[in-house]
Amino acid sequence: MNIDIKLGVASAATQIEGGGFSHTWSDWYEKGHIKDGTNPSRACDHLNRWKEDIDLMAEMGITFYRLSIEWARLEPQEGSYDESAVKWYRRLLEYMKKKGITPLLTLHHFTNPLWFENMGGFAEPANISVYLGFVEYAVRQFGDLTDEYVTINEPNVFAVMGYFNGVFPPGLRSMLTAFRVQSVMAACHIKAYSLIHDLRKKMGYANTKVGFAHHARVFMPKSKWNLWHRLCTCLVSRMFQNALTRACLKGRFIFPLKKYGVIRQGEYADFLGLNYYTRSTVSSLGDGVRENVPINDLGWEIFPEGIAICAGELYKLLKRPIYITENGTCDNNDLFRCRYIYDHLKALVDSGLPVERYYHWCFTDNFEWCEGESARFGLISVDYETQKRTIKKSGQFYSVMIKNKGITSEMFNEYVTPQKYRD
């Protein structure tokens, strides 16, 4: 199988850097919400090992890397910025450039500085300007080193997990607040989209690309004959993802979302960022997993066709190149990751959609939010005690795939054939 898609890897600051900054996830740890009791202040110690990590990436032939910056680290107090943090990120981006690795920079990936959270975070429409202040600062500091930006990672997951299910910080259970957070984040994305373009133009740079990373699932009724299941499927898809994509991509705010401030309808993305992991089976206003289907080590269904279905839905809304900004799986012993990668890439290649990039989640094992260090998504394994990195079989597969621009039958026989999904 030939693969024309540019293959990269993804990560997020809180999940790899370590270092103990004053943010919502260090606070969530202090409050005892990490299942295995691990502390994000350790993570992969990327703070000190960044060079080794970039070297490893380069050795594997990876030339596209989606990474994020830690807001709490750059702006530890409102309006006061830490120059040493700026220098650290500049050094990282410069080194990536030297190694021929193109960054896609995420400006917000789940974590808020505590000072921002304490003023209401994204549940407070008045804070849109505070987020934009940070975006402006970041683009002024790093705008010469990267052309490509993700404004916000997964506003729907952030809103639902933090404000509806209550499992992410701040641990609220209010559907109305979850919709408000999605609405505020959509406004943030749209305004950041225009701001980043304006700033970069003033700085004299062309080729600016801005989008957001949308988490989408395929929602299926548990029984297609059951009207209640079907109604819930429509409601859940709209509440979880369809209203949000219309708001973020088009500036169209439909129920249950609300427009805060002046936002014109338009086209607010230069690429369609899609994070895809699984399908949800619906029988109530929540999500579920079908019986007798392949699942990963967190119990999520493995449903490769879904990646093309979700990408196709985004493309119907807006004709832009598709970037799979995340796709990967929790496979603690690396027993089926090669097959997972192959099946998802095959679904994309067969779809005929204009998929330009695929960023595998994740480059290394990392701090997986509430699961802590116990859920492993990396192509590279991390021994958290010694911080030793080892390329997994799936990492070797990915590297060979990049070098060959596809998967030969020998590669298929070596890496994919021996692997089976568990169920």
Residues that bind ligand BGC (CB under 6 A): 12, 15, 153-154, 157, 215, 275, 326, 361, 368, 377
For residue 349, what is the enclosing H or E element?
helix 337-351
3-state secondary structure of 314: helix
| Cα separation, 359 vs 11, whole angstroms | 9
Q: What is the DSSP string of 205-271?
A: ----EEEEEEEEEEEEESSTT-HHHHHHHHHHHIIIIIHHHHHHHH----TT----S--------SS
Q: Which is nearer to ligand BGC, 113 or 221 (CB)?
A: 113
Give the shortest CB-15-to-ligand BGC separation in angstroms. 6
Give the shortest CB-382-to-ligand BGC separation in angstroms. 14
**Would you tell me how many other CB atoms lie within 10 Å of the CB of residue 204?**
8
Tokens 């279905």 identify what position? 309
89 neighbors 142 (Cβ within 8 angstroms): yes
Give the shortest CB-19-to-ligand BGC separation in angstroms. 17
Q: Which is nearer to ligand BGC, 156 or 242 (CB)?
A: 156
Q: Which is nearer to ligand BGC, 12 or 355 (CB)?
A: 12
Please state the φ and ψ torsions of residue 161, each to the nearest 5 degrees: -70, -35
Give the shortest CB-236-to-ligand BGC separation in angstroms. 17
Give the shortest CB-232-to-ligand BGC separation in angstroms. 22
Please state the φ and ψ torsions of residue 408, each to the nearest 5 degrees: -80, 170
Q: Which is nearer to ligand BGC, 33 or 252 (CB)?
A: 33
Positive/negative CA dihedral, 111, 382, 8, 140: positive
Q: Which is nearer to ligand BGC, 10 or 355 (CB)?
A: 10
| Cα separation, 389 vs 202, whole angstroms | 41
Give the shortest CB-330-to-ligand BGC separation in angstroms. 7
Positive/negative CA dihedral, 373, 379, 383, 388: negative
Give the shortest CB-362-to-ligand BGC separation in angstroms. 7
Give the shortest CB-385-to-ligand BGC separation in angstroms. 21
Q: Which is nearer to ligand BGC, 153 or 183 (CB)?
A: 153
Positive/negative CA dihedral, 110, 70, 360, 16: negative
Q: Which is nearer to ligand BGC, 17 or 368 (CB)?
A: 368
Chain centroid to CA 217: how far? 13
Tokens of 422: 């568990």
Positive/negative CA dihedral, 344, 345, 348, 351: negative
Q: Which is nearer to ligand BGC, 119 or 298 (CB)?
A: 298
| Cα separation, 10 vs 19, whole angstroms | 20
| Cα separation, 60 vs 65, whole angstroms | 12
Q: Which is nearer to ligand BGC, 104 or 157 (CB)?
A: 157
| Cα separation, 14 vs 17, whole angstroms | 6
Query: What's the chain's length in residues?
Result: 423
Give the shortest CB-186-to-ligand BGC separation in angstroms. 17
